């Protein structure tokens, strides 16, 4: 049994449902401390975070991830207990096997091998972990980044251990992510009896043409790295529940997934212009949960792609698709952020699993990347 598999099993056995860490950080910290890492626990609210660093010089290479997992869902649907790791036919089963306790184990064992082989390596290695990635993500990585900013401790390279692979482990690197801008829109009308339309103003009817125009608008054309910005409604609610009452308001939740081809202020301004054009009386509250970021070809991307090629023979593709990750926070203090991890086919699903061989290969890729950047 490999060191990576053993550590992954230890972590999966911890019931670290967001925001609980359930001792995962202590397990990882106990592996890092003997290597000369200084360990800094940063607790915010109910969230446990860890910043661990080995060395003081530059460049600083950071591995980042989360110890928390999503709920297991119906236990009777799992072939085995999601928090009792099981290996069957070369696959490791358990909640977090792919997202991301398996990848965490892979980068810890990669660091161990690299430190043993290059005890006097140049630069520094860091590990940034949180127990608040799968939840609201307000007291996790973002708080660690704020603490690092306050003392001007910046990162040169960062690999987030998200499960990025699609058909074969190592086939896809995420080198950026779209931004996420949400709006909570309330359109006001005049409530009244549905049989007296001359005495009411139906806010659903008033809002419909504006919604249609917002949905049909081309916000940008995207660029070579990102698809065009999209605007989508996620929720609409209006009415009292009665069939004979025209509502006084309608509430609409929507979201922009936007690229570097648009700006936050530009999207807000154009949305307001459309709503104003249709003469609506409305309130609109905005929430920016992620800014877009992009890591172009450079030292980190080239090192990771070369490492993948040497270990697996694959020429990894670059992608900015998918949802948000904690890379969006780290990008504020790190110019080169990528995500690399195992297959994402089973994440958040019943019987989540990862190939044991893929975890061992991933550990080799991480270690080889360290050699290319710091040896």
Which sequence positions are flagged as catalytic?
A: 68, 133
Q: Which of 109, 111, 132, 105 is nearest to 49 (CA)?
A: 132
**Other CB atoms within 10 Å distance of the CB of residue 232:** 11
Peptide bond into 345 cis (omega under 30): no
Q: To the nearest 10°, the Cα dihedral for 134, 140, 142, 144?
A: -150
Query: CA-CA distances (angstroms) from residue 317 to 135, 296, 309?
Result: 29, 13, 11
| Phi and psi based region of residue 36 (left: phi greater than 0; alpha: psi -120 to 50; beta: remaining) | left
- Answer positive or negative: Cα dihedral of 86, 88, 93, 98: positive
Whether 252 and 185 have beta carbons less than 8 Å apart is answered as yes
Q: Please, which residues bridge with residue 338 across strands?
A: 159
User: Taking the mean position of all CA atoms in its chain, how far away is CA 205?
Assistant: 37
């Amino acid at each position: 049994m490999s060191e990576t598999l053993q550590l992954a099993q230890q972590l999966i056995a911890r019931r670290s449902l967001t925001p609980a860490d359930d001792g995962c950080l202590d397990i990882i910290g106990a592996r890092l401390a003997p290597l000369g890492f200084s360990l800094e626990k940063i607790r915010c609210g109910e969230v446990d975070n860890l910043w661990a660093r080995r060395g003081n010089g530059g460049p600083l290479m950071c591995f980042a991830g989360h110890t928390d997992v999503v709920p297991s869902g119906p236990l009777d649907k799992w072939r085995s207990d999601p928090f009792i790791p099981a290996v069957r036919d070369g696959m490791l089963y358990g909640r977090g096997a792919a997202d991301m306790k398996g990848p965490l184990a892979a980068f810890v064992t990669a660091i161990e091998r690299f430190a043993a082989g290059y005890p006097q390596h140049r630069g520094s290695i860091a590990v940034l972990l949180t127990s608040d990635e799968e939840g609201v993500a307000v007291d996790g990585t973002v708080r660690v980044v704020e603490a690092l900013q306050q003392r001007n401790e910046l990162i040169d390279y960062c690999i987030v251990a998200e499960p990025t692979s699609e058909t074969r482990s190592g086939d896809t690197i995420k080198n950026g992510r779209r931004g996420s801008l949400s709006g909570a829109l309330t359109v006001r009308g005049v409530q009244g009896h549905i049989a007296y339309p001359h005495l009411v103003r139906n806010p659903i009817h008033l809002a419909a043409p504006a919604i249609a125009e917002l949905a049909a608008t081309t916000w940008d054309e995207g660029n070579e790295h990102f698809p065009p910005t999209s605007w989508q409604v996620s929720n609409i609610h209006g009415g009292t529940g009665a069939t004979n009452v025209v509502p006084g308001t309608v509430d609409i939740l929507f979201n922009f997934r936007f690229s570097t081809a648009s700006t936050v202020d530009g999207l807000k301004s154009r949305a307001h212009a459309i709503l104003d054009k249709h003469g609506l009386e409305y309130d609109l509250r905005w929430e920016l949960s992620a800014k877009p970021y992009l890591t172009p070809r450079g030292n980190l991307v080239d090192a990771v792609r070369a490492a993948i090629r040497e270990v697996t023979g694959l020429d990894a593709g670059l992608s900015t698709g998918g949802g948000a990750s904690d890379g969006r926070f780290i990008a504020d203090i790190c110019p080169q952020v990528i995500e690399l991890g195992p297959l994402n086919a089973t994440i958040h699903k019943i019987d989540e699993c990862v190939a044991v061989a893929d975890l061992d290969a991933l550990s080799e890729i991480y270690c080889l990347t360290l050699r290319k950047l710091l040896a």
